[in-house]
A and B are shown apart, each in its own frame.
Chain A
Amino acid sequence: MKLSLIRTYSYYTFPNFHKPKTQSPSLCARLTRPVCSTSLKPKTPLFLRPPEYSATLSDLKRWQDWAKTLSSSIGSSFLDSDNGPDPSLLCRELNWLIEDSLEDHSVIPQLGIQDNSKNVRLKVDIAELYSLWKQRIEGRKPFQYIVGCEHWRDLVLSVEEGVFIPRPETELLVDLASDAVSNNEELRQGLWVDLGTGSGAIAIGIGRILGTRGRVIATDLNPLAASVAAFNVQRYSLQDVIEIRQGSWFEPLKDIEEKLSGVISNPPYIPSEDIPGLQAEVGRHEPRLALDGGFDGMDDLLYLSNCTALLLKPGGFFAFETNGEKQCKFLVDYLENDNAGSFCNMKIVSDFAGIPRFVTGFHQ
């Protein structure tokens, strides 16, 4: 193996996770312990909270007007500085925040009416709404952390600060896996892994397309991500299909003897030098462990490819997300040469913006 496991830990140090290569059996047990028992309790997303608060429609309207004005005041400054949101997008987010905060959506059209003293039930205190929107605009806190969820495919996933927010591009990884199993019953009933699962997005997407005997194991080094992923798995009642294991990449799979039907991953792939210039929502708020792919961003992708060559069964499928054309080409080239003979049918697939984004293939 070319790359050491230890490197990946350097961004994010946990007291128990040093030198996993030489870990004792007890440490291994701790690494793979069931996540439910961890003390990290995920936050409940706004839309799932009980409507414990109330306000008059005109108070809500006053807040909305204030928030709109604040959103408009930024003009194109975010867009110009780091490709951030513009006022029209922020206003759309504002509507979604209102949707998630209100118990009864049918009152939304009445927000236009002036001086409405009708009371509505809210899932968050109105004072808190002011603070949340301030954090959105002034702190550039991602909208998904404000409402505690991300709509992804047909799922609504819980996310919170410290856990990577799934991207729209990544939705396609599930479609690619779906295509691979669509007329391959063996793969559909096999064991799949999602490495660096974050909120559990890919694992849940795949868990829902596999057959009755299909299973997914999802791993993440970040314990908070693991517990949020476990929460999301539970919300979609997929505990019997998806197992979340905390640990580094394939490490938590050591006890698994069967070969894998599928390996899917969206590992960190941003070159280290790009990290300081990232859009504020990303650079200031999302965990670096989820983003930084080392010098050229390829560290984790290359490491994962090597392991995949060893663990995938003949005919097994893999799909990785990358930073774009350069990484896609590099990876395909690497797999064809350095792993010569391991993989076939390799493809580069573009995302909806037309950027070559994914590398897929099958084990020989």
Chain B
Amino acid sequence: MSSFWLKRSRSISSVLLQNLRTKTGTLDSSQFLNSIQSSQNHTVLPSGLSSFLLKALKNPSGSQYQQFLHRNSKGGFRFFSTQAVTEPSTADGLTVEGIVASQWTILDESESDWKSHAAAIAQSILVIKKRLQWNKLMVRLNFLSAELNKPNLWDDPVHAGRISREHGSLMGKMKEVKAFEQELLEHIDMIKLAREENDTELESESLKALLTMRRISNEKELEALLSGEQDPCPCYIEVQAGAGGTESMDWAAMVMEMYKSWAQQRGYKVTVVDEMPGEMAGIKRATIKVEGEYAFGYAKSEVGVHRLVRISPFDSGKRRHTSFAAVAVIPIMGDGSTRVQINESDLRIERYRAGGPGGQHANTTDSAVRIVHIPTGVTVTCQNERSQHQNKASAMAVLQSRLDQLEMARQAQMNAQHTQSLTDISWGNQIRTYVLHPYRMVKDLRTNYEVSDPDSVLEGDLDGFILSYLSASLDKDENEG
């Protein structure tokens, strides 16, 4: 083995050592150093640390390296206290919270900038922690540990079993996140070290590893954001024009187009279920069905009233107008979930536009159907299918989902749960403003997230708004919880 490798292995180990020291404070460092020393003499240690490390360094691109870090951070070392109360940090004391606080700019994935990767990962970790209600989780864990340490615990084996199971499960969750933090910080250490040593190969390998982590953390963050029972469901998105005639109907059509493009860009399947055109332009109301993974989870963020300020293209006086469109999002629940039973006798089914004696007298392709659910007054119309039967079937499907949603809201209210996304849209419930004139901006009134390019938003670039709303809802959950 060349002395070059030995030199490096020593220096990296010392980084790790410092790292470990800050973490536990109780590590017997001489013992650890000894281990590393002996590994240089090609002896395999019981802990396996050095041989792993050396192999990893010889073949830094291999998955062993990853695996090593993983094993390492997952508690392959017995020196770790499983309590892990102290905050993991890098050699120079940087923590995950610290990274987020430094507000490093997050660039596109394709930019090879370690700070950007690190910042993105750190942010995802924070979101994941929020979802887990981290602070509460720690308090609970401490409580459970204290319980477990009670000498008379096993006097009541049922209670003890429950406590230890919960402890095990929370511990598992916590360790997973900690391991992830650990991995991030170790990669940062590696990069800093590689730079010190002018080792471009190691630097680029570590950067690659960070990018992989960034992708994984992105997925995990989404899982954390979209953990509602209905989130994975397909959904209906309904847009309705507010008061103000053609002006608002045009705006409603723009909003609907925005969702169609958004959904298509995400790879969702979009079907127009119902569309009621305005007399001159736009739509009075329309419903689309959006199918694909987590369609409801994302789209639910859009529920509420959307306001537009612009110079009206319909006003010859070129005055500024404000228009409103209301958006409702309804999950389409799978057959597995409990669904409201609909009684045929509770329905009034009507042709939407009747007239004349009908039957053999009339030839029309207009087979629009309106269904009124008498007990709740919920009304659904459908006119986009080519047969009345199919229009009725689509309308029934929409009605079913609406009633399911009402029922869910009712139950949630009974359980005093958070029902933000389910509240009925009232015209006061404004969530976002789109200004095209006198300046250009789209701003979400719930999160204050804003962008200065309304065109891109209207072309369906909504994910920024959606994600910021979803993580803001997590904050709310955490504070309320």
Which residue of A89, A279, A282 is within 8 Å of B366 (Cβ)? Answer: A89
Q: Are B360 and A291 in contact (CB under 8 A)?
A: yes
Which residue of B362, B385, B386 is within 8 Å of A282 (Cβ)? Answer: B362
Q: Are A323 and B390 in contact (CB under 8 A)?
A: no
Taking CB atoms and an 8 Å cut-off, the chain A residues in 315-334 that contact chain B are: 321-324
- Chain B residues near A352 (CB, 8 Å)? 349-351, 354, 369, 388
Cα–Cα distance between A321 and B389 once the two chains are bound (Å): 17
Cα–Cα distance between A169 and B356 once the two chains are bound (Å): 13
With an 8 A cutoff between CB atoms, is A286 at the interface?
yes
Cα–Cα distance between A171 and B358 once the two chains are bound (Å): 13
With an 8 A cutoff between CB atoms, is A212 at the interface?
no
- Chain A residues near B355 (CB, 8 Å)? 83
- Chain B residues near A92 (CB, 8 Å)? 365-366
Cα–Cα distance between A88 and B388 once the two chains are bound (Å): 18
Cα–Cα distance between A290 and B363 once the two chains are bound (Å): 13
- Chain B residues near A247 (CB, 8 Å)? none
Cα–Cα distance between A341 and B96 once the two chains are bound (Å): 88
Nearest Cβ on chain B to A322's Cβ, whole angstroms:
8
CB-CB under 8 A for A270 and B388, given A83-B355, A352-B351: no
Which residue of B350, B354, B359, B389 is within 8 Å of A154 (Cβ)? Answer: B389
Closest to A286 in B: B363
Nearest Cβ on chain B to A118's Cβ, whole angstroms:
18
Cα–Cα distance between A96 and B384 once the two chains are bound (Å): 10
Interface size on A (CB < 8 Å)? 44
Which residue of A88, A169, A286 is within 8 Å of B358 (Cβ)? Answer: A169
- Chain A residues near B349 (CB, 8 Å)? 352
Cα–Cα distance between A323 and B277 once the two chains are bound (Å): 32
- Chain B residues near A269 (CB, 8 Å)? 359-360
Nearest Cβ on chain A to B364's Cβ, whole angstroms:
7
With an 8 A cutoff between CB atoms, is A93 at the interface?
yes
- Chain A residues near B356 (CB, 8 Å)? 83, 279
With an 8 A cutoff between CB atoms, is A165 at the interface?
yes
Nearest Cβ on chain A to B300's Cβ, whole angstroms:
26
With an 8 A cutoff between CB atoms, is B38 at the interface?
no
- Chain B residues near A169 (CB, 8 Å)? 358-359
Which residue of A152, A266, A270 is within 8 Å of B361 (Cβ)? Answer: A270
Which residue of B357, B365, B386 is within 8 Å of A323 (Cβ)? Answer: B357
- Chain B residues near A357 (CB, 8 Å)? 358-359
Q: Are B369 and A323 in contact (CB under 8 A)?
A: no
Q: Are B354 and A171 in contact (CB under 8 A)?
A: no
Q: Are B361 and A154 in contact (CB under 8 A)?
A: no
Nearest Cβ on chain B to A328's Cβ, whole angstroms:
11
With an 8 A cutoff between CB atoms, is A268 at the interface?
yes
Contact with B along A229-242 (1 / 0, CB 8 A): 00000000000000
Cα–Cα distance between A142 and B363 once the two chains are bound (Å): 7
Q: Are B361 and A282 in contact (CB under 8 A)?
A: yes
With an 8 A cutoff between CB atoms, is A45 at the interface?
no
- Chain A residues near B369 (CB, 8 Å)? 352
With an 8 A cutoff between CB atoms, is B367 at the interface?
yes
With an 8 A cutoff between CB atoms, is A107 at the interface?
no
Taking CB atoms and an 8 Å cut-off, the chain B residues in 369-393 that contact chain A are: 369, 385-390, 393
With an 8 A cutoff between CB atoms, is A115 at the interface?
no
Q: Are B362 and A279 in contact (CB under 8 A)?
A: yes
- Chain B residues near A268 (CB, 8 Å)? 360
Cα–Cα distance between A112 and B343 once the two chains are bound (Å): 43
CB-CB under 8 A for A282 and B388, given A89-B366, A93-B365, A144-B365: no
Taking CB atoms and an 8 Å cut-off, the chain A residues in 143-177 that contact chain B are: 143-144, 151-155, 164-165, 167-171
Cα–Cα distance between A167 and B365 once the two chains are bound (Å): 9
- Chain A residues near B351 (CB, 8 Å)? 168, 351-353
Cα–Cα distance between A92 and B389 once the two chains are bound (Å): 18
Cα–Cα distance between A309 and B83 once the two chains are bound (Å): 87
Which residue of A153, A270, A282, A355 is within 8 Å of B387 (Cβ)? Answer: A153
Which residue of A170, A266, A282 is within 8 Å of B363 (Cβ)? Answer: A282
Cα–Cα distance between A351 and B367 once the two chains are bound (Å): 12
Q: Are A168 and B363 in contact (CB under 8 A)?
A: no
- Chain A residues near B361 (CB, 8 Å)? 270, 274, 278-279, 282, 323
- Chain A residues near B277 (CB, 8 Å)? 88
Cα–Cα distance between A151 and B386 once the two chains are bound (Å): 6
Q: Are B360 and A154 in contact (CB under 8 A)?
A: no
- Chain A residues near B354 (CB, 8 Å)? 352-355
With an 8 A cutoff between CB atoms, is A85 at the interface?
yes
Nearest Cβ on chain B to A179's Cβ, whole angstroms:
10
Nearest Cβ on chain B to A265's Cβ, whole angstroms:
13
Interface contacts beyond A92-B365, A169-B359, A286-B363: sample of 7 additional A-B pairs, CB < 8 Å, sorted by A: A153-B389, A154-B393, A168-B364, A269-B360, A274-B361, A279-B356, A351-B351
What are 20 of the A-B contact pairs (CB < 8 Å)? Answer: A92-B365, A144-B365, A151-B386, A151-B390, A153-B387, A165-B363, A167-B359, A167-B362, A168-B388, A169-B359, A171-B387, A171-B388, A171-B389, A270-B361, A274-B361, A279-B356, A281-B363, A282-B363, A324-B357, A324-B358
